[in-house]
Structure 1
Amino acid sequence: KLPLLLALSIFYYITRTPPNPPASHKEISKYPPGDHFSRRTTAVSKTLPLSFIFCEILVIISIHYPTSVFAESTMTALVRTSSHNFHAPTTTPIFLVGFFLTVCGACVRWSSYHALGPFFTFELSIHDEHKLITRGPYSVVRHPSYVGSLCVFAGILFCIFGPGSWIYECGWWDLVSVKIFAMFVTAVHMTTVFLLLSRMGTEDKMMRKEFGLQWDEWAKNVPYKLVPGIF
C-alpha cells in the first residue's frame, strides 16, 4: 500500500496547489466577494488529508520495521494499541475506489492546468491578455477542472476515512471526537465543492461578457458544464 499512498499524496498535492501565482487584486476586485475562494479553506482542505496520509505512511513503515529508531514512538503516538479494533492499514476495495477517483480527478485537473496555461488561477479572474481556451478538456465540457475537483474530493475522503485507512484501522475511529473531526473535514471539502458549483454561472457570464460571439459559438459546440450528455 505504501507506493499507492505516496502516489495518492502527490496527485492530491497537484490538485490543491495553484499552477500559477494568485491573480492580482485588480483582476479579481471586479467580481463579487462570494465568488472568491478562501485561501484559508483551500489550505485546510489541502493540509489535513496530506497529514493523514503521512501518518498512515509512518505507521506502515513502523509495522514493517519494528526495530527502527522511530518505530516505538510512532506506534505509541499514532496507534491506539489499547483498542480491540487495531489492525494494520491495508488496501481495501473502498481505498482502491478512492485512489482511482483521486488519480482520475488529478489527471483531469492537470490537463486543465496545461490547457489554460498562465490563465489558470484558483481565483475567479480575467487577465489583461486573456484568451478563450477551447482545446483539450475544454472541448468536452466547459468546466473540466471542477469535474476533476469533485472526483478528487470524493476519492480522498474514501482513502483517509474508509476501511483500511489509518484512522479506521488504528483505533481512532472508536472515538466520538474523531468522528466529529471527520465530519468537519468532510464539511470543509463540501464547502469547497459548493463554492465551485455556485460560481460556474458567474464564470460563464464573465467569459460571455469578455468574449461575446466567440464564447457563444464555443458554448453551442460544448453545451455541457460538467458531464457530457447530462449537465
Structure 2
Amino acid sequence: MSPTMILGLVVLAASWLAWFWPFAFRAPHNQRRPSITLATPTRAGLLLECTAICIALACRQSFIDPLPWWRFAGMLVFGVIAGLLSWSSVRHLGRQFRVNAGLYDDHELVTTGAYALVRHPIYASLLAILASTLFLFTPWQWAILSIALFLAGTEIRVAAEDGLLDSRFGARFAQYKGRVKAYIPFVR
C-alpha cells in the first residue's frame, strides 16, 4: 500500500470521526419532551441511505497505488465539508436535534448557521461524507448505485420533514423553503 493511500485512509477516518463527533457527543439525547413524530417514512429513507453507505464501504476496489491526487483532493474537500456541516447543524439545531423526523411542542424554525445555506444540512453533511468515501476507493459503477440509493432515501426524508415543518410553521416555512434549497446548495 502506497504512502498516499495510507494518508488517504487516515484522512478519511478523521473525516468520519469529525462528522460523527457532534452527533455522538454534542447533540442532546434521550429528551423527554412532548412531540409529534413521523418515523415510518423516515426509517425507509434512512435504510436506503445506510445501504448506500454500506455499498460505498463494502464494494471498494483494491487499494490504488499510488492514490491519484484528484481522488485524494475530492476526499479531503468533501470530508471537510461534511465535518463543518455536521458541527454547524448540531450547534444551531441545539435541543431540537432528534434522529427521527418530528417536532417538539416548543419546536422553532431554525434558519441560521448551516440552515441558512440548506434546509437539511445534516443530510447534506451525510452526502458529503459519502462522497468523501466514494472518492477514496469506490469504483464508479458502485458509486453511481450508492449515490442513487442515497438520494432516493434523502428525498423520502426531506419530503416527510418538510411536510411536518409546513404543517407547523405554514407561511414562514413556505417563505424559507422558497429561498433555501433542500440539501444541495443552488441545486436541490
Deviation at 1:136, TM superposition (A): 0.9
Moved over 6 A (4+): none
Which of 3, 9, 14 is residue 10 of structure 1 equivalent to? 14
Is 1:45–2:77 an aligned residue pair? Answer: no
Task: Report the count of equivalent residues.
Answer: 176
Q: Which has the higher contact order (CA 8 A, sep 6+)?
A: 2
| Paired residue type of 1:124 | A
Which of these two proteins has the greater Rg computed from alpha carbons? 1
Q: Specify every segment of 5 or more residues in structure 1 that has no aligned partner in the other structure, as ranges.
A: 57-86, 163-178
The sequence identity of aligned pairs, in percent, is 19
Measured after TM superposition, the shift of residue 48 of structure 1 is 7.6
1:96 CA drift (Å):
2.0
CA contact (8 A) 1:22 1:123 kept: no
Structure 1 residue 3, shift from structure 2 partner? 4.5
TM-score normalized by structure 2? 0.68
| 2:107 maps to 1:130 | yes
CA distance in 2, matches of 1:113, 1:43: 24
After TM superposition, the score normalised by the length of structure 1 is: 0.58
1:46 CA displacement: 6.9
Structural mapping, 1:87-98, within 5 Å: 88-90=65-67, 92-98=69-75
The C-alpha deviation readout for 1:72-117, integer Å capped at 9, x for no partner, is: xxxxxxxxxxxxxxx7554532232222222223322322122112
**Structure 2 Cα separation of the partners of residues 223 and 188 of structure 1:** 26
Which residue of the other structure, out of 29, 38, 49, is the alignment partner of 1:31? 38
Q: Could you tell me which runs of 5 or more consecutive residues in structure 2 were left unpaired when the two chains were aligned.
A: none
Contact 1:23/1:123, CA 8 A, preserved across alignment:
no
Counterparts of 1:39 and 1:230 in 2: how far apart (Å)? 24
Q: How does 1:53-92 map to 2 (within 5 A)?
A: 88-90=65-67, 92=69
- Relative to structure 1, the CA distance from residue 44 to residue 157 in structure 2 (aligned partners, 3 Å threshold; closer, same or farther) is closer
- Give the aligned CA root-mean-square deviation in angstroms: 3.8
